[in-house]
């Protein structure tokens, strides 16, 4: 009953007129949106409306949250939901946005048993405690450079998808168990390939940060799938095909069309 009521409420939200001042933000800040067919653009706008109705945004480091920030981040996050049955990131409640890179503490366990806290400069992170943290500078950079494979919003929200069945480990929930065997074979092989290429200094189209763990590999592969689809398909055809099946999208089809 609760799920039925939630979907009824969401249907009412999607049926509302899309705010006129939000459309230019999508056109300006979401390069993928400019290449989508009209049916996908309409679906994405419905997801954005639900996302913004349900998630809370908080500014940090003196940043004031605006519609520009909210709509830009929501649209990139919701691109990952197109064509899929989705509960709109059920474990996520808050998006915290800093104006630029920020410093966070990380606890490190040394082999000797010593535990230390280290300060790290970050552009984004996905917390299992219901929050995503982002640098607005990094979000804007990804929005303006369509040739860059890095997109901090796609990356961190891929972690959110990955964690929907527990801790993020590079295997998000799949429609049936049989698909996990293929997923593990393809992504496991590609992860090891990236680790070898990174260790040997070999050039790769995938961000080398993906070699740090299977969870980071899935997030990095997701970024590349949407931002450099033709290159990913050319160099990693099996990986591209597996992500195409998971996301139920084929970005190569739209990459050939110029922005509207």
Q: Which domains does the chain have, with CATH numbers?
A: 2-255 (3.40.390.10)
Confidence of residue 171 (pLDDT cuts 50, 70, 90): very high
pLDDT higher than threshold 60 for residue 257: no
Per DSSP, the residues of 139-194 read HHHHHH-TT-S--HHHHHHHHHHHGGGSS-SS----SSTHHHHHHHHHHHHHHHHH
Q: What percent of the chain has pLDDT over 70?
A: 91
Q: What is the CA radius of gyration of the chain?
A: 18
**Token duo for residue 97:** 């946005």
What pTM was estimated for this model as a whole?
Answer: 0.92
Confidence of residue 155 (pLDDT cuts 50, 70, 90): very high
* pLDDT tens digit sequence for 209-220: 999 999 999 999
């Amino acid at each position: 009953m609760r799920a039925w009521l939630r979907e009824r409420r969401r249907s009412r939200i999607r049926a509302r007129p899309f705010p006129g001042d939000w459309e230019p933000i999508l056109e300006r800040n979401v390069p993928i949106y400019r290449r989508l067919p009209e049916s996908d653009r309409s679906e994405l706008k419905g997801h954005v409306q639900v996302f913004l109705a349900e998630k809370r945004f908080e500014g940090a480091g003196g940043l004031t949250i605006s519609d520009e920030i909210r709509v830009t981040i929501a649209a990139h996050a919701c691109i990952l939901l197109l064509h899929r049955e989705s509960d709109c990131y059920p474990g996520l409640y808050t998006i915290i946005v800093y104006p630029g890179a920020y410093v966070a503490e990380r606890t490190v366990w040394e082999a000797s048993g010593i535990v230390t806290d280290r300060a790290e400069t970050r552009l984004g992170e996905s917390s299992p405690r219901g929050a995503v943290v982002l640098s607005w500078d990094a979000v804007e950079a990804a929005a303006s450079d369509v040739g860059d494979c890095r997109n901090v919003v796609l990356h961190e929200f891929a972690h959110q998808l990955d964690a929907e069945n527990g801790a993020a480990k590079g295997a998000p929930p799949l429609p049936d168990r049989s698909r996990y065997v293929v997923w593990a074979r393809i992504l496991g092989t590609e992860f090891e390939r990236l680790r070898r290429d990174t260790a040997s200094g070999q050039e790769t189209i995938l961000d080398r940060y993906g070699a740090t763990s299977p969870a980071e590999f899935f997030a990095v592969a997701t970024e590349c799938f949407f931002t450099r689809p033709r290159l990913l398909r050319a160099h990693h055809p099996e990986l591209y095909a597996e992500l195409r099946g998971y996301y139920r999208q084929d970005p190569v089809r739209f990459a050939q069309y110029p922005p509207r």
